[in-house]
Amino acid sequence: MVLRMAYQRAVVGEIVAALRRRSPALLHVLIGPRQVGKTTAAGQVEASLGWPSHTASADAPLPHPPEWIETQWRLARAKAGRSSQRVLLVLDEIQKVRGWSEVVKRLWDEEIRSEGRVRALLLGSSALLVQHGLSESLAGRFFLHRCMHWSWPECRDAFGWNLERWLYFGGYPGAAPLIKDQTMWKRYVTDSLIETVIARDVLQMQAITKPTLLRHLFALAAQYPAQIFSYNKMLGELHDAGNTVTLAAYLRLLETAFLASGLEVFSSGQVRKRGSSPKLVLWNNALINAPALRSFDQARADGAWWGRLVENAAGAHLLNHLHGPPWSVSYWRHAGEEVDFVVSHGTTTWALEVKSGRGHKASGLDAFRRRYPKAKAWLVGDTGIPLAEFFEKPPAEWFT
């Protein structure tokens, strides 16, 4: 555990440098999944800056009222006193406070007008709720940082893991000390991570009419990682599933909590083709293997299953690192031909095929490039980019 606390992720230096700049004065917002070290990163930012600071968390069973933010802000101002030194205010799980963005806007504008010394770092674990508040009330006032699931190089450097361990155990730092007892590891990830995220970051914060269905949908995604699954087929698999619109909406909610995504099929000029059969990708392989019965050794010995884990990890690698409107991650399938992932950046498109040991799997790269001759292609694994090399680099380096 000491090793985990000592490890400093790159986002810490990014935030410290941004806060030290006096111009422009901006709110700094850190979003990302639960249990990946956002609070630890904020503590490391605090230690690196050496400023007076005040930290508070809104992660409570019942939502805090807006006055909670005002109280924390005044406490931070009190720590500034009469000195000229700036004060760091850290508010964790900010999306859980009702009307948080309007209150923060008012207090921040007051701070700037009065040349106050409080500088705020806001943390959140629901992309939908945080970004909705930012776009609604705080446009032009914030800079967004992301603290995502741990990559293989991070787990290698922090815990000494090889690539195979990361492909199975994923990247939750708090669970890393438990991997020698896989039963305990599975229980911890399932109870303390998966269930907590669904209960607190999805069900507690959204109006969900069928909470059991949402849990079953997540379990279905974990059972079929990196597989294309039509909504009609899901209706047949899930009890009381309602309709395809409900399933699509619930899958989107799982995505905003950084749990699972349904990638849409690529088509030129309309990268995310709504209504198509989604390709299920879990954002962290721990979310697949914790609920599953297979141990590490059993998963490694099952070539077909291991191939799914490798392919899912490749998709998760893309989702965790390619952010914002310029990037889009999808897949392609037409007339029996398939490409694992399609990455678009502006007008440039790459087709990505993951060779993961499933010998029967035919590549659809030739068919895709005949249809889209300007597209570029990457082959990952086997005779292409070695898996270790692909996962070691940020994906943007392969696609720019």
Kindly tell me if the per-residue pLDDT of 27 is higher than 90: yes
* Mean pLDDT for the stretch of residues 267-278: 66
- Position 2 scores a pLDDT of 35
The predicted structure's pLDDT at residue 400 = 81
Tell me the pTM.
Answer: 0.92
pLDDT at residue 6 in the model: 75
Does the domain at 2-146 match CATH 3.40.50.620? Answer given as no
Evaluate if residue 5 carries a pLDDT over 70: no
Q: What percent of the chain has pLDDT over 70?
A: 94
Question: pLDDT tens digit string along 28-85?
Answer: 999 999 999 999 999 999 999 999 999 999 988 788 999 999 999 999 999 987 777 8
**Residues 36 and 171 sit within 8 Å (Cβ to Cβ):** yes
pLDDT at 77: 93
Q: Please tell me the predicted confidence (pLDDT) of residue 268.
A: 74
Say whether pLDDT at 3 is over 60. no
Helical H segments across the chain, by residue range = 2-6, 10-20, 38-49, 67-80, 100-113, 127-137, 152-159, 163-169, 182-187, 195-196, 211-223, 231-237, 244-256, 286-289, 296-301, 303-321, 365-371, 387-392
Please say if the pLDDT value at position 218 is more than 60.
Answer: yes
Position 1 pLDDT exceeds 50: no
Residues 395, 281: Cα–Cα separation, whole Å: 16
- Split at pLDDT 50, 70, 90, the class of 272 is very low
User: Are 396 and 350 a contacting pair, CB within 8 Å?
Assistant: no
**pLDDT per position as a tens digit, 186-215:** 999 999 999 999 988 888 777 788 999 999
- Percent of the chain beyond pLDDT 90? 74
pLDDT of res. 96: 87
| Calpha distance 244→274 (Å, rounded) | 11
- State the average pLDDT over residues 156-165: 97
Q: Are 305 and 299 in contact (CB under 8 A)?
A: yes
What's the pLDDT tens digit per position in 297-355? Answer: 999 999 999 999 999 999 999 999 998 888 999 999 998 899 999 999 989 999 999 98
Question: Which of 103, 152, 100 minimizes the C-alpha distance to 131?
Answer: 100
DSSP structure string for 303-324: HHHHHHHHHHHHHHHHHHH--S
* Per-chain mean pLDDT for the chain: 91
Structural domain spans, the chain? 2-146, 177-397
Tokens 């956002």 label which residue? 38
| pLDDT for 364 beyond 50 | yes
Highest mean pLDDT among 185-199, 255-269, 357-371: 185-199
